[in-house]
Amino acid sequence: MASIEYPSSSASVSRQHQADGEASRQGPMVDLGVEDMESPIEDMETVAKLKKRLEHVVRLYNSGKLLFPRALLEGLHQQIEAGKEEVCITDLDDVPSTHSLKVPAICSDFATTYCIGYTSIQLLTYIHPSFPTMILSDQAPVSILYTHYPSHPDGTLEEVCAAFDKARMEWLESGTCQELQSHLTTMRFSCHIHKIVAFGLGTLAKVQNDHFSTRSYVQHAAIATMATALKERGINDGKEIQCYAQDPWYDETDVEFLKSIGITVVNDPKGFLEIDEFTLVFSVCPNIPVKQIVADVQWPGAMIWNTVSEGEETKQWRKRLRSGEEFWMGPLITDPDSKRVCDMVSHYTKAPLLDLEDFFGDLTVYVK
């Protein structure tokens, strides 16, 4: 079986091949094609189950069902803050399930802590060519996963301060910094900005290959640049701009240092709950679908994050060869765009951020 196709609405499977214009009006087309499955499915009953499951998920999504409703994240946050050992999370069909916040014995060989898992619409609907039936497990958009902290050695607070001062000077003298300041001082804002909430900027206190991550340091330094530019322009409406950062790998040194430069560290999912219409969201290549979560939780006043591609995505699993070994190259990224994300950013003015120093990668400034 080369591919499984299904409609983006409740129409029959045969209508999948209608014109792209009509498909875009119906909603996102989630194409599940693969060039060649590792283990082709011969059992037509399994094929029918796959189609039924995928059609169900896509139908719910196209009907407006939120993957990451604010109320769900608020409830999860309240349970975590209350110190519960188990939390209850509902799935896409509003069916509740219980998750332990303690690492189960079966995971103790590789995991030391839990984290919140966020599953994008792509991961909910794309079939892995080697494990096609995994999608039948009714994976929820929000769940609890188990992982371990990075094993890199820790830097001291003094080392972090010295490294940050050096990186900040490099940042302030860069063309990328000037470009960002130019956008924030010239783009038209329709609302005030009272908060900056950052996601996935990385730990500062971990030493990797005998050095700290310059990109992480520069990205944190950029938060102060944003706050200063907005304040000088009066976009803050005379209020102090509160700065927050959320990253699963922050440790005690990170928390202490970031507090010293005016950034409050918040735990997942608190960062998303801090977002309101007066927030600037800053995100750089996170390992969770930040854009899709924000589109469901709250449209902010501005975003500076990876450029949203409104063109057709590559929707194929492809076999590749590396060092003489075959592997599957997937069509997925950790922070993918979606129809909802594209709809959201269409309401914003945008300006690409020229980043010759490669501090951020491909970012765009979006302002409402």
Regarding whether 304 and 173 lie in a shared domain, the answer is yes
The reported pLDDT for the residue numbered 22 is 34
Residue 4 belongs to a domain: no
Over residues 249-266, mean pLDDT = 96
Decide: 302 and 236 in contact? Cβ < 8 Å: no
Regarding whether 187 and 133 lie in a shared domain, the answer is no
> What's the chain's average pLDDT?
85
User: Which position has the higher pLDDT, 34 or 16?
Assistant: 34
Q: How many whole angstroms separate alpha carbon 26 and alpha carbon 258?
A: 45
The reported pLDDT for the residue numbered 136 is 79
Regarding whether 111 and 23 lie in a shared domain, the answer is no
The reported pLDDT for the residue numbered 331 is 56
Regarding whether 113 and 32 lie in a shared domain, the answer is no
Regarding whether 344 and 218 lie in a shared domain, the answer is yes
Residue 6 belongs to a domain: no
Q: Residue 66 is encoded by which pair of tokens?
A: 């939120």
Over residues 54-63, mean pLDDT = 94
Which of 8-12, 63-67, 164-168, 190-194 has the least mean pLDDT?
8-12
Q: Where in the sequence is the domain holding 328, given as residue range(s)? A: 157-367
Residue 203 belongs to a domain: yes
Regarding whether 18 and 136 lie in a shared domain, the answer is no
User: Which position has the higher pLDDT, 16 or 299?
Assistant: 299
User: Which position has the higher pLDDT, 211 or 210?
Assistant: 211
Regarding whether 110 and 167 lie in a shared domain, the answer is no
Residue 1 belongs to a domain: no
Q: Provide the number of structural domains found in the chain.
A: 3
Regarding whether 227 and 161 lie in a shared domain, the answer is yes
Regarding whether 240 and 142 lie in a shared domain, the answer is no
Confidence category of residue 34, pLDDT binned at 50, 70, 90: very low
User: Which position has the higher pLDDT, 105 or 20?
Assistant: 105
Buried b (16+ CB within 10 A) or exposed e, 310-349: eeebebbbeeeeeeeeeeeebbbeebbbbbbbbebbeebe
If one counts every other C-beta atom within 10 angstroms of the C-beta of residue 86, the result is 11
Residue 186 belongs to a domain: yes
Over residues 23-44, mean pLDDT = 49
Boundary (domain end) residue, out of 90, 118, 147: 147
Contacts of 341 (CB under 8 A, 6+ apart): 291, 292, 295, 308
Regarding whether 197 and 136 lie in a shared domain, the answer is no
- Is the model's pLDDT at 89 over the cut of 50? yes
The model's pLDDT over 96-142, given as tens digits with 9 standing for 90+, comes to 999 999 999 999 898 999 999 999 999 898 877 777 777 777 689 99
Regarding whether 88 and 218 lie in a shared domain, the answer is no
Can you give the pTM of this predicted structure? 0.86
User: Which position has the higher pLDDT, 32 or 342?
Assistant: 342
Residue 267 belongs to a domain: yes
The reported pLDDT for the residue numbered 126 is 81
Residue 120 belongs to a domain: yes
Best CA proximity match to 268, nearest among 296, 287, 240, 284? 287
- Is the model's pLDDT at 58 over the cut of 50? yes
The model's pLDDT over 164-207, given as tens digits with 9 standing for 90+, comes to 999 999 999 999 999 999 999 999 999 999 999 999 999 998 76
Exposed (0-12), middle (13-18) or buried (19+): which is 108, by Cβ within 10 Å?
A: exposed
Which of 117-131, 212-226, 301-315 has the least mean pLDDT?
301-315
Residue 152 belongs to a domain: no
The reported pLDDT for the residue numbered 41 is 62
Contacts of 166 (CB under 8 A, 6+ apart): none
Regarding whether 37 and 81 lie in a shared domain, the answer is no
The reported pLDDT for the residue numbered 211 is 66
The reported pLDDT for the residue numbered 6 is 33
The reported pLDDT for the residue numbered 49 is 87
Boundary (domain end) residue, out of 107, 126, 147: 147
Q: Residue 4 is encoded by which pair of tokens?
A: 């499984």
- Is the model's pLDDT at 47 over the cut of 70? yes
Best CA proximity match to 336, nearest among 125, 165, 60? 125
Confidence category of residue 213, pLDDT binned at 50, 70, 90: confident
The reported pLDDT for the residue numbered 44 is 82
Boundary (domain end) residue, out of 147, 165, 181: 147
